[in-house]
Amino acid sequence: MSRLFFAVTLLVAGALAACTAAPDDGVGAHTEAQTGSLGILAIERASGGTETSPASLGAAFARYQGVDGETVARFLGAGSESASESCVLRTNDADALVASNASVELLDVGAISVRAGGTVSRLPPRAFPELARVAGGFFYADEAVVPAAASDGGEYVFSTEGSTDVASFEVVAPGPPDVADVRVDGALPDGVVRSQGTEVTWAASDPRDELEIEVQTTTGTLVCRANDDGAFHISASALTSVGADADARLVVRRIRTTPFDAPGLDEAYVRIASSSQYALVVR
């Protein structure tokens, strides 16, 4: 399953982290005010590995109060779950937002068009009744309908029709290069021993980007956030937070985030990710 928040099943499963657990860096982390508005445009494309998943495309625009902007971003599945160069067990706690006095309204910006090269995809606003207890309004979501841009960082053009909530706008954002040469303890990804920890390496790229490394098991998902410098060590103590699993999955995701100005929104950014997935045995 893609990390991208626009995959409906991920939204319903609860990408929200507890309101008190926000990391202290990353895009949106400065948004500590308990009221505001946020817009996120995002693409996640599959770029390699031994496992496949649908590419995802989507957007969400939110007005909130009684909660900070970083928590809202994590609720949308696009915020940082761990501090830089660290790991955390992914939470599944939409009840944390419900239990608070927070209010999240998802805004309509009209249909959104995404263009790359000669291909255009169009996303209409959609309501998801499953989320009504947490947030009312519209998401924009689709799978496997992602325009093809160059794998070395081609540009995407997003444009909106606008609505009474948010005026129309257009933004151009570059995607990151695909993740290449992924190794686990010096070999092609295959298996890890929790009690020993593991070293994940890859071909380093642009310092503007960051890597997100996930170890997905039936007992939980370990999420690590790394600088794009080519190597990250997952400690034994972090790995033992998930159980052994012969059918686990490793996801290595390069993320490029581009802030932009949108009329009527306090903060907005484009999040484009390129991910590789591998079958993994966790012992």
Report if residue 3 sits inside a domain. no
Per-residue confidence (pLDDT) for residue 220, from 0 to 100: 92
**Residues 204-261 pLDDT 10s:** 988 889 999 999 999 999 999 999 999 999 999 999 999 999 999 999 999 999 999 9
- Domain of residue 204: give its range: 8-282
Per-residue confidence (pLDDT) for residue 99, from 0 to 100: 52
Is the pLDDT at 197 greater than 90? The verdict is yes
**Residues 74-117 pLDDT 10s:** 777 676 666 789 999 987 545 555 556 678 888 899 999 998 88
State what percent of residues in the chain have pLDDT above 90: 48
State what percent of residues in the chain have pLDDT above 70: 76
Report if residue 58 sits inside a domain. yes
What predicted TM-score, i.e. pTM, was given to this entire model?
0.82
Report if residue 82 sits inside a domain. yes
User: Per the structure, how many domains does the chain have?
Assistant: 1
User: Which helix (H) or strand (E) element contains residue 239?
Assistant: helix 236-239
Please check whether residue 41 is in contact with residue 119, taking contact to mean a CB–CB distance below 8 angstroms. no
Report if residue 130 sits inside a domain. yes
What is the dihedral sign for C-alpha 268, 147, 116, 213?
positive
Per-residue confidence (pLDDT) for residue 268, from 0 to 100: 94
Is the pLDDT at 32 greater than 80? The verdict is no
DSSP assignments along 101-125, one per residue: T-EEEEPP---EEEEETTEEEEE--
Identify the CA nearest to 172 among candidates 202, 203, 189, 149. Answer: 149
Report if residue 2 sits inside a domain. no
Dist CA 143 CA 145 (whole Å): 5
Lowest-confidence range among 51-60, 132-141, 158-167, 177-186? Answer: 132-141
Under the banding of pLDDT at 50, 70 and 90, the label for residue 276 is very high
Report if residue 1 sits inside a domain. no
Q: Tell me the CA distances in angstroms from 55 to 34, 151, 274, one per residue in order.
A: 33, 14, 9
Report if residue 227 sits inside a domain. yes
Report if residue 95 sits inside a domain. yes
Question: Amino acid letter at 112?
Answer: I
Dist CA 274 CA 255 (whole Å): 7
